[in-house]
Structures are given as C-alpha cells and as structure tokens.
C-alpha cells in the first residue's frame, strides 16, 4: 500500500503534537497503579467516613481486601477507558475532512487504504502499549500490597479487555469515516458504546459483544466458572473487522 509508512509517521507526530499520546498512556498507567491502592485504602476510608458522618451507627468491615478486590478495582477502572478512547479518536478522519486536509493528502499518489490503516494501527499500537503499562503497574502494586497473582488468568483478563477496547476503537474510526462533522462522529462512537452496553446485559446474547467480553473478564476475576470465552473473543474480533471493512469501503467511495 502506497504511503503507509509516511502516514504512520504523520499519525504518530499528530498524536504527540495534540498530546493524545501523553493523555492516553498516562491514563492507562494511572489505572494500573491507582486501582490496587484504592482497593487497599477503601475500607479505611469508609471507616473514617462512618465515624464522621453516621453518628451513633457503627460500620464493621468483615474482611481485609485481597488480590481479587484489587483486580476487580482494576477491571472496573479499565472498563471506563473505552470512553476515553472514543473521545480521543472520534475526530481521526472526520476532523481532517472538516478541516479540508484529507483531500490535499489523498490527491498525492497514496492509497486511501494506507491512510485508513495508519489511522487504525497507530492508536491500536498505543492502546496495546498503554495496556501493557497498566497491566505491569497493577501487577507490581497488587503483588506488593496483597500477594501473588495467578499470572495466566491475569494475562487472559487483560487480553479480553484489550480486545474489547480495540473493538470500540474500530467502531469510533468507522463513525469518523462515515460522518463529516465531529459531533456526528462522536455520536456514532458513544451511541455504539451505549448499544453494546445494553446488549451486553442480556443473558445469552450479551457475551457476544465487547461489553459482554469485558464482563466475562470480571467473572474470571471472581473465580467463577466461565464458558464461551473463545466464542466471545471471536465475536468481538468479527465486530472489529466488520467496522474496519465498512470504514474502508466508505472511504474508498467518498467524495473528499
């Protein structure tokens, strides 16, 4: 594909200049570092609030936090990252179309598919790097504060959450291609997030969505019997691929 490396360099430079790279990586790192700390101090904070505000009532913490509590906190915080990815990515293509920079770039002897692939590959690589940072930070602090983590299960949980997040990235990229205004592109990403969240809550169908896949990761942390992980991963991967194919076909036919 003509121009792919040039587009990748351009996209990386734009990520740095707009501070999206810093915001993304710092957010991931904070999720990994802060989650075990929150799990550790939450019982003490609740006890202090109870003493100050509940008067004669006594709040009793029945057990100390453990590894599962730290990982559940990590899972809950990581589950908020799709919103950050959507907000940082919805203007990826629609922003260039609205500023009229996309036509100037694509009149050169370069491929529209290379343009789109760079727009998808660079954020995906940053999300992968951010997940590695987040997972390493959580692993370090959880091990120090609570003890050893079952590494195989931990890696599976992170892989499932990463797959879910990449699906939301492809959804947002598709919305950015299909629309010409930034609000409309944001609406596609956020609307898709809400739709997946609603479907993900359904008993049988939910597990075949990125939201359901993230939910299965939470079940693994709780130590519950989980079935259909492979099918859930496959369904999420199919959603990701479909969104990218739609974006590719739409961009190829658009008048820029």
Q: How many domains does the chain have?
A: 1
How far apart are alpha carbons 190 and 182 in whole angstroms?
A: 12
The string of pLDDT tens digits covering residues 56-87 is: 555 555 567 788 889 999 999 999 999 999 99
Structure tokens at 102: 């996309």
The string of pLDDT tens digits covering residues 117-175 is: 989 999 999 999 999 999 999 999 999 988 888 899 999 999 999 999 999 999 999 99
Structure tokens at 157: 């949980």
Q: pLDDT higher for 24 or 112?
A: 24
The string of pLDDT tens digits covering residues 232-252 is: 999 999 999 999 999 999 988
Question: With 80 as the cut, is the pLDDT of residue 54 above it?
Answer: no
Q: pTM to 2 decimals?
A: 0.89
How far apart are alpha carbons 157 and 225 in whole angstroms?
A: 14
pLDDT band, residue 43 (cuts 50/70/90): low
Boundaries of domain holding 242? 4-253
Structure tokens at 248: 């590719």
Most confident segment among 40-44, 46-50, 173-177? 173-177
pLDDT of residue 159: 95
How far apart are alpha carbons 66 and 39 in whole angstroms?
A: 8
pLDDT band, residue 227 (cuts 50/70/90): confident
Q: Give the long-range contacts of residues 79-82, CB within 8 A, separation 24 or more.
A: 79/161, 79/214, 81/27, 81/28, 81/31, 81/165, 82/164, 82/165, 82/168, 82/193, 82/210
Mean pLDDT for all residues in the chain: 86
């Amino acid at each position: 594909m003509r121009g792919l490396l040039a587009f990748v360099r351009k996209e990386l430079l734009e990520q740095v200049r707009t501070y999206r790279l810093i915001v993304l990586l710092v957010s991931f790192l904070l999720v990994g570092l802060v989650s075990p700390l929150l799990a550790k101090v939450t019982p003490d904070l609740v006890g202090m609030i109870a003493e100050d505000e509940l008067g004669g009532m006594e709040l009793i913490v029945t057990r100390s936090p453990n590894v599962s509590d730290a990982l559940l906190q990590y899972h809950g915080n990581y589950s908020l990252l799709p919103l950050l990815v959507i907000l940082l990515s919805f203007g990826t293509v629609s922003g260039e179309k609205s500023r009229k920079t996309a036509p100037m770039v694509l009149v050169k002897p370069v491929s529209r598919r290379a343009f789109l692939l760079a727009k998808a590959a660079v954020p995906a690589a940053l999300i992968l790097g951010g997940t590695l940072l987040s997972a390493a930070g959580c692993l370090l602090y959880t091990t120090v504060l609570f003890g050893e983590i079952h590494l195989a299960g931990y890696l599976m949980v992170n892989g499932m959450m990463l797959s879910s997040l990449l699906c939301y990235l492809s959804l947002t990229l598709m919305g950015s291609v299909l629309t010409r205004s930034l609000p409309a592109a944001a609406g596609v990403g956020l609307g898709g997030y809400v739709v997946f969240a609603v479907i993900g809550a359904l008993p049988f169908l939910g597990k075949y969505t990125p939201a359901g896949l993230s939910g299965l990761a939470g079940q693994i942390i709780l130590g519950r019997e989980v079935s259909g992980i492979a099918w859930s991963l496959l369904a999420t991967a199919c959603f990701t691929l479909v969104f990218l194919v739609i974006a590719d076909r739409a961009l190829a036919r658009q008048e820029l």
